[in-house]
Amino acid sequence: MTYSDVLQNAKKTIKNCRVCPECNGLACGNLMPGPGSKAPGNGANVNWKAWQEIRLNMDTFVSHAPVDTSGKLFGREYSIPLIAGPIGSLLQYSDTDVTVPYNDGVMEAAAECGFLASFGDGLAGETLPGALASMEKHPAGVIPVLNPLPNETIIRNMAMFEQSSALALAVVVDSAGLFHWKGQDGGASSKTIEDLQELKAHTRKPFVVKGILTARAAEHAVEAGADAIIVSNHGGRVLPSAPSTAEVLPEIVSAVKGSTVIIVDGGLRSGSDILKALALGADLTLICRPFPIAWFGGGAEGVKLYVEKLRSELTEAMYMCGARRLSDISREMLRF
Ligand SMILES: Cc1cc2nc3c(=O)[nH]c(=O)nc-3n(C[C@H](O)[C@H](O)[C@H](O)COP(=O)(O)O)c2cc1C
């Protein structure tokens, strides 16, 4: 199977997604439930476009040596600075709920290829226990990402993973803007620094806050004890007219680089995009929408093929910009 076969197969099995040549949020528009953005439906495209507008400066006056794309997060080695993004429910892509096998397939691929994985706490009761079972089956670095329900609910869900192999525990604060989470189990809502401090106090795992879009929010997350933040606007799904993540990343890097690990998502689609994100100061990247496409098209094998494609693109881009290790990547490699 090749990655092109994966895309052809995905077209036959996936719902609501047209498997576009570029996953740029245009065809899915405001389709929610589905993979789209909140109305008017341009948020995912705004994210994608911002990375396309950044150019890479070529520099081949550097000694030849193999490129190494590996690094470490919270002591765990990864072979590529990439986390597969959380999707709470695959019902957004299918008539039957395949969230549990999807998470299992992503974790299987992660364990084999050395990228990191995450999963969301969808509305279905079997999602979290299913993900827990998959985590114990596949030795991957996995981050559960919990929605901002009342703290008692989050603390109960966090406890499920405290003794597990989970690499960290994350709370996604921007889901306060998701209509289908409001009214669930007490409802998703905004969180204060104190709310997050309470959650942090209930785990010995590294604590991650997802959904940071301003320098001030990043500083608040650090004050709350975030060991990592994920710069994200939830793929354009929570607030119309939000800026792209590429736009806000430099301000956030200036504010909190060194105090917390900085992860970024939103419209990153290629190895060159990963290089751009790291050159802007991110430590790692997260990619979401292309993963269900890869899984619907080829299961765990499809996911591996997608990540190997990213790895070869990143390796090539680093080589041509003069970086041999991730720590060589710098802002001078970018042209605006
Ligand atoms: C269908 C769908 C479901 C998602 N579910 C979740 C979720 O449960 N929890 C979460 O933190 N983010 C969720 N996200 C947001 C993604 O994890 C990610 O932040 C966003 O899609 C941006 O990345 P992308 O442009 O690579 O897709 C979801 C995104 C999509 C498209």
- pLDDT tens digits, 15-32: 999 999 999 999 999 999
Q: Where are the alpha helices (DSSP H) in 29-115?
A: 43-52, 99-113
- CA dist 88 and 99 (Å) reads 8
Q: pLDDT category, 184, cuts 50, 70, 90?
A: low
Torsion of CA 99, 102, 106, 108, to 10 degrees: 110
- CA dist 35 and 27 (Å) reads 10
Looking at residue 180, what is its pLDDT?
79
Contacts of 7 (CB under 8 A, 6+ apart): 19, 293, 297
Compute the distance from residue 40 Cα to the ligand 1 centre, in Å: 18
Contacts of 275 (CB under 8 A, 6+ apart): 56, 314, 317, 318, 321, 323, 329, 333
Q: Where are the alpha helices (DSSP H) in 138-210?
A: 151-162, 193-201
- Regarding the beta carbon of 103 and ligand 1, being less than 6 Å apart is answered no
- Regarding the beta carbon of 276 and ligand 1, being less than 6 Å apart is answered no
Q: Determine the residue of 92, 237, 273 to mutate for testing ligand 1's pocket, defined as the one with the most ligand atoms within 8 A of the Cβ atom.
A: 237
Contacts of 52 (CB under 8 A, 6+ apart): none
pLDDT, tens digit, 9 for 90 and up, residues 99-142: 999 999 999 999 999 999 999 998 889 999 999 999 999 999 99
Whether the predicted model's global pTM rises above the 0.95 cut: yes
Compute the distance from residue 66 Cα to the ligand 1 centre, in Å: 34
Confirm whether 234 is a catalytic residue.
yes
Looking at residue 183, what is its pLDDT?
62
How many Cβ atoms are within 10 Å of 157's Cβ, its own excluded?
17
